[in-house]
Chain A
Amino acid sequence: MTGKLLSLAIWLPILAGLVVLATGGDKRANVARWLSLIGALAGFLVTIPLYTGFDMLNGGMQFVELKPWIESYNINYHLGVDGISMWFVLLNSFTTLMVVLAGWQVIEQRVGQYMAAFLIMSGLINGAFIAQDAILFYCFFEAMLIPMYLIIGIWGGPNRVYASIKFFLYTLLGSLLTLVAFIYLYYQADGSFAIADFARLPLGMTAQTLILVAFFFAFAVKVPMWPVHTWLPDAHVEAPTGGSMVLAAITLKLGAYGFLRFALPIVPDACRQYAWVFVLLSLIAVVYIGLVALVQTDMKKLVAYSSISHMGFVTLGFFMFAGGTQMNSFAVEGALIQMISHGFVSAAMFFCIGVMYDRVHSRKIADYGGVANKMPIFASFLMLFAMANSGLPGTSGFVGEFSVILGAVQVNFWYAVAGATTLIFGAAYTLWMYKRVIFGDVANEHVAELTDVNKREFLVLAVLAVTVLGMGLYPKLFTDVMHVSVNDLIWHVSQSKLH
């Protein structure tokens, strides 16, 4: 069975999704709900052995599955996880479980389809994180957009068409360029699509630069990095709560993961050469987007901008080369922790906004005030997540930013100065929003009618709270598994691939 764990992680949720889809219309909505919950839970449970059975001393791929798929082009069904991607499989399966619970009663129409879309997407995203064959990765990477389009398009807000088109424009170009890059690499590697073969390939500087540009368009849009970020706030605003949770917690991570799995190992010399561009864009994301987040009037937009700012730390961590050659362990591991933590915290923040939206049907900060009077339990949870979003020590939000800043000081003091402004901006936009929404006297009759969280909401909030605190108090649990893989990566990237 352990030999098929990764296949299970992909196909079990997809299968569950198809079963849920088969329940038909909303007459059997409850059946659909319970089936989805069972599917999501099973999907999460099968990923746990990936952690418990993980060999921490092995930096290579584990749980590998390798079967021919399209033999004429040597495309393989090649799966595997290392200490880095394993976390995102777990995070994704965990988030799916939260999303199913989050949409439980909130979604009233096309329940089966809604749940099925998330389950199928969960399997596809796992596939993207697990795939060790470039074409297999590409298929999953593209296919997962379809359920996301549907989720925004069907259960989304009024301006969903604009959001989808914008997203489409952003992604189309980059994805195609990446495919071209893959095909080029395929010929260079004498007919192999294995990512590991790509990573071993010697490449000239011009080729590396062009490939980096192709990767940049595909992955920077996903992260999203400034200035290709403007699709995200729109997509979030239009997406239903569950969609926002997955979007922020998982799909953004795919972009960062792409840089780590493809750009850095395959074209390390180009990455080193143009690292300053990435650092610059990341720091712009931290500072510029931090300021933009400050003046948002829509809670979802605010958290969306805060996501961009937090993801800036991820790309900053990946692309800081000490002395121009060596990636920094603190920065890289910090960036990875930031990715995982942001998965929990942003999912929690979007869920909290969803809880309020379900009651008041507004995302405007101005429509709230004094929520704590009516929803004290909710207010306490949101306080915790707001603090995690502000990077308070003891929460997961602190660990990643702290490590990246520590790494930045070692590389270039001024990177650290610019990055550390998040201490001020992050707290300012998050807590100012908290103040206006939660504190104060009851602001209007909508707030006066609020009821505190129900058991289902409490469960989601409590699970996320425990995770956020647990990761903040004992991050070693997460980092120890990464060390070998990260060290291998750092060593690999420090080697030149030029002829």
Chain B
Amino acid sequence: MDMKTIYLLIPLAPLFGALVAGLFGWAIGRRAAHTVTIAGVAVAFALSAYVLKTLVDGGANFNGTVYTWMTINGVDLNVGFLVDKLTAMMMCVVTFVSLMVHIYTIGYMQEDPGYQRFFSYISLFTFSMLMLVMANNFVQLFFGWEAVGLVSYLLIGFWFKRPTATFANLKAFLVNRVGDFGFLLGIGLVLAYFGTLDYAEVFAKAPALKDATINLFPSATWSLMSVTCILLFIGAMGKSAQFPLHVWLPDSMEGPTPISALIHAATMVTAGIFMVARMSPLFELSDTALNFVMVIGAITALFMGFLGVIQNDIKRIVAYSTLSQLGYMTVALGASAYSVAVFHLMTHAFFKALLFLAAGSVIIGMHHDQDIRNMGGLRKYMPITWITSLIGSLALIGTPFLSGFYSKDSIIEAVHESHLPGAGFAYFAVLAGVFVTAFYSFRLYFRVFHGKEQWMLNHDAHQHHDDHADEEVSADHHHGLGPNDKPHESPWVVTLPLVLLAIPSVFIGAFGIASMLYGHFFDGVIFVNAELHPGMEHLKEEFRNAAAMGVGSFTHAPFWLALAGVVVAWFFYMKRPDIPAAIQAKTGPINTLLENKYYMDHIYINGFAAFGRALGTVLWKVGDVLMIDGLLVNGSAKVVGFFSSVVRRLQTGYIYHYAFAMIIGALVLVSWWVFRILHSL
């Protein structure tokens, strides 16, 4: 098989599975549907791993066209692949996590009537995501970009009977469309000024356009690169849920847990990070854009972390944690540490997918109760889930030697090295974020796996979180443990993916850091202007090896901040549960602010959305109905009616009236004719 066939096969195998399960799922049944989709994704993963290995062994990058989608004015818009190490790494992450999620789904969705549909969707997602990361041009990037958005929409609304789910999926789609609005304009600027949408050609031309300017207002001249990059980044803000376009991600938890792990933690939401890293030759040309990226990332990293602290729904805590971690990646992008951002993307994909799937396992064990206040002591009943969750949490908070440590610590160091105006704030945000992350992660961990078995104590006090108050309408879930039920460990199809994800969560960081951050892994893929942004060069000089970095961390602030977070969580929730309650009571306004998620949803729903509907109503009722129809159309009808009523009086029906009019007319004509002749003489 030549390489091009392999590259084609990688996205097409999951697509095939999706089509078979989607179109013929009703005929072939459940087992065949999950077999064909899992086989498709397994093929894609095996081939992706092979591609990565070939590239690491010195194989050549691939950049070629599959077919020409459309040609206008001599510009070819293609479907084509660019396969380099960045692509190959993303392909492996996507297909591996997807494979785990496929297997997990057999257990998680076994009672669901939409079983085949679900498998079809997640395979379709895998196809879309692969098209996105493998693109060699902006058109296909945008195709993949919107296609993953579509599947995300379908999956958030998978349980379409729930009003909350269909609200959440519409919200997710529309907020993403706001981001895509900017993204599309950015692509438009690229085409207008570079004359092509092919990555390689655009990157080659970029340095020449470094000082190009654009006049958007008559008086103001802006740098083309800054405008373009910020517009492209607005797309990333939508997809990667950066403040202020983050609001859709927590609500996306209405979807089934496997897709929360696959789409809303490990892969789709990192598309924005990937895109900016891919566009590093453009972003490097604009410090304005990089600074913007960094500040947005810092806000997301810190303030979304705070929201994780007060949540009680197990999935939402992990969701806010995802938002915060995406903020970390974005900060790294702003600091020109693209490789670090991508590195954190990879480690995060493993441990966050693990945490989500573990949360799903807990939810199964708790019979679909998601409130951590009703849990406790589950470690005895769900040992595999417990251990793997602990590993995931430790990796997330940056415990030395685990994968999250290497990536997150590198981000903090990189921000420290940055000289952009926003770096000071960003550095504070990522440092403070370490404490917050550790605190909410272990608050969750302790409340779920340790302490009193709340589900034994207060059956009557079960409070399902509010969003599920309407749960009775949907038949697919029974809620919470009954009086005689005990939590139970999940079946092997659920726990096996947990174990398989826990392995890279531990080792991938130490394994990858030397080559990915300080070696030659991303040479020729990620471009950094070392003169302007020397941060990574400095870090490279200091870096010796992974073990030394781990040992060295004990003298650095982040380790102690993380430890403090764990200890405080332990003290608050294991020793003195009265303290958090007291704090909550004492800090009323802040607590209200956090519980209302900074009122962002409120502003969007009652502000923008309501304004849009009100404006639409005014334009319709006043503009169309009153002005155009009322005045112009019916008005002219009345005018016509008026004149016809006047003219009608002339139509008396008497022949002598008409004859009279005829004679007058003839007379006028004749006189005019005579007059003309006389005049011309």
Please report A residues at the B interface, Cβ cutoff 8 Å: 165-166, 169-170, 227, 230-231, 288, 291-296, 329-330, 333-334, 370, 372-373, 383, 387, 392-394, 398-399, 402-403, 405-406, 408-410, 413-414, 416-417, 420-421, 423-424, 427-428, 431-432, 435, 438-441, 473-476, 479-480, 483
Contact = CB atoms under 8 A, between A and B. Distances in A.
A349 B615 CA distance: 25
Interface stretch (B70-78, B380-388, B458-466, B502-510): B70-78
B170 A420 contact: no
Contacts of A427: 173-174, 177
A93 to B, nearest CB: 24
Contacts, number: 139
A408 B188 contact: yes
Nearest to B470: A441
B377 interface: no
Interface in B573-621: 612-613, 615-617, 619-620
The A interface is mostly helix, strand or loop, or mixed, namely: helix
Given A294-B612, A333-B72, A405-B188, A230 B180 contact: no
B216 interface: yes
B487 to A, nearest CB: 30
A439 B73 contact: no
A431 B173 contact: yes
B612 A428 contact: yes
B147 interface: yes
A330 B145 CA distance: 22
B629 A230 contact: yes
Residue among B70, B72, B177 with max Cβ neighbours from chain A (10 Å): B72
Contact of B616 (A293, A398, A473): A293
B612 A420 contact: no
Given A288-B623, A440-B163, A476-B71, A394 B143 contact: yes
B504 to A, nearest CB: 32
Contacts of A370: 161
Interface stretch (B103-111, B251-259, B295-303, B630-638): B630-638
Interface string B120-163: 00000000000000000000001101110010011001001101
Given A288-B623, A330-B73, A440-B166, A409 B616 contact: no
B236 to A, nearest CB: 16
Contact of A476 (B69, B170, B188): B69
The 5 closest A-B pairs by CB, nearest first: A409-B188, A329-B73, A291-B616, A295-B616, A439-B166
Contact of B636 (A169, A295, A387, A475): A169
Contacts of B177: 423-424, 427-428
B181 interface: yes
A330 B177 CA distance: 22
Interface of B: 67-73, 142-143, 145-147, 150, 153-154, 157, 160-161, 163, 166-167, 170, 173-174, 177-178, 180-181, 184-185, 187-189, 191-192, 214, 216, 473-474, 612-613, 615-617, 619-620, 623-624, 628-629, 632-633, 636-637, 640
A321 to B, nearest CB: 15
A373 B216 CA distance: 50
B231 to A, nearest CB: 10
A461 to B, nearest CB: 14
B153 to A, nearest CB: 8
Contacts of A166: 633
Contacts of A333: 72
Nearest to A289: B619
B181 A423 contact: yes
Contacts of B161: 370, 373, 439-441
B70 A476 contact: yes
Contacts of A231: 633
A174 B388 CA distance: 74
Contacts of B68: 476
Contact of B181 (A383, A421, A440, A441): A421
Nearest to A334: B72
A333 to B, nearest CB: 5
A411 to B, nearest CB: 9
A165 B616 CA distance: 26
Nearest to A434: B170
A474 B78 CA distance: 10
Nearest to A424: B177
Given A393-B142, A413-B214, A230 B188 contact: no
B170 A435 contact: yes
Nearest to A333: B72
Contacts of B154: 383
B69 A416 contact: no
Nearest to B114: A376
A393 B184 contact: no
Contacts of A435: 166-167, 170
B185 A416 contact: yes
Nearest to A442: B161
B633 A393 contact: no
Given A169-B633, A427-B173, A439-B166, 7 more contacts: A165-B637, A288-B623, A294-B613, A295-B613, A392-B146, A413-B189, A439-B161
Contacts of B173: 427, 431
Contacts of A387: 150
Contacts of A410: 188, 191-192
Nearest to A429: B616
A393 B79 CA distance: 12
B470 to A, nearest CB: 10
Contact of B150 (A293, A392, A405, A438): A392
A299 B674 CA distance: 65
Given A227-B632, A294-B613, A403-B72, A424 B191 contact: no
Nearest to B76: A476
16 contacts: A231-B633, A294-B616, A370-B161, A403-B70, A409-B189, A409-B191, A413-B214, A421-B181, A424-B177, A427-B173, A439-B160, A440-B161, A441-B474, A474-B67, A479-B71, A480-B71
